[in-house]
Amino acid sequence: MLDALAASGQASRFPVDVADIALRVSAQFGWTDPIVGVKAAPITSFEGGLFTVDGGWVLLYNDQIQSDGRIRFTQAHELGHYLLHRTLRNSFSCTDKDMVEWGPGGKQLEQEADEFASTLLMPINHFRALVNDSKIDFEMLGKCADLFGVSLTAAALRWVSFTNESAVLVLSRDGYIDWSVSSDKARKNGAFFRTRGNVIELPAGSLAADSTTASNKHGMAVGTSVWFEHADGRAVLREMKIGCDNYGYSLSLLHLSSGDKVWPAWETR
């Protein structure tokens, strides 16, 4: 429907106006418990929430501690709870753990709300058209993030989720991997990190571990075996880095050659 509206010239396609959709979506489906308000609420302990009120629901978002992109994602995440989960609970309070630090191991309802939000804000067909044949790097992903009105982290996660290329996104803090997400191709080639229950230090020799370089959007060549010890010694990957000082973490993107398998010998498949 948003594509059709944009094609008819009635609305610009991006960024998606989540509050407008939230207020009107129940009428589309003929539901009797609409979202009656979308309001800022400066409660420091949460990024967003969805609560029952007289006559329906109210969608709250924190506008004090979040960028515009994160506010938009928060609103879309709460809209996801409304559409998917409102018959399961009377209230949803979501923190930045649910919103920004998503990745493997999250709670199911939170993962579903995140999946809904990224699908609504960054449709894959539009995203694919933007990056078509371009060499991916943080500058390109930054342009996509600006167009979609989301954070760079959200845009990078979305790209990793659909790309056919071999890529690993790593969020690190204080020299350790916080979480990482691999594309399908990277996972099949053994390029992933088991962060759950494991403490994984950033490898020496990686751009991520180099404290003298805060950011390198276009990336540099790093031996694949620096990150993945079982990789062929001749293989090279492209590593990019963005330091997010405001939030105290760094985001790294590892772009491997599609044919490079990094499984230990006994795990080769």
Looking at the Cβ atoms of 116 and 138, the one nearer to Zn ion is 116
Beta strands across the sheet bearing 91-94: 35-40, 56-61, 48-53, 91-94
**3-state DSSP: the chain helix, strand, coil percent, rounded to 5?**
35, 25, 40
| Residue 50 is a binding residue for Zn ion (CB under 5 A) | no
Contact present, 230 and 260 (Cβ < 8 Å):
no
Contact present, 184 and 200 (Cβ < 8 Å):
no
Distance of CA 229 to the CA centre of its chain: 27
CB of 269 vs Zn ion, minimal distance in Å: 36
CB of 84 vs Zn ion, minimal distance in Å: 10
Position with the least CB separation from Zn ion? 94
Contact present, 181 and 153 (Cβ < 8 Å):
no
Integer Cα distance of 133 and 265 in angstroms? 33
Looking at the Cβ atoms of 94 and 231, the one nearer to Zn ion is 94
CB of 225 vs Zn ion, minimal distance in Å: 39
The vertex-102 CA angle with 213 and 89, nearest 5°, equals 155
Q: Which residues, 55 to 94, sit near Zn ion by CB under 5 A?
A: 94
3-state SS assignment for residue 182: strand
Looking at the Cβ atoms of 98 and 239, the one nearer to Zn ion is 98
CB of 164 vs Zn ion, minimal distance in Å: 30
Looking at the Cβ atoms of 110 and 260, the one nearer to Zn ion is 110
Q: Which residues, 98 to 157, sit near Zn ion by CB under 5 A?
A: 98, 110, 113
Looking at the Cβ atoms of 97 and 128, the one nearer to Zn ion is 97
CB of 98 vs Zn ion, minimal distance in Å: 5
Residues that bind Zn ion (CB under 5 A): 94, 98, 110, 113
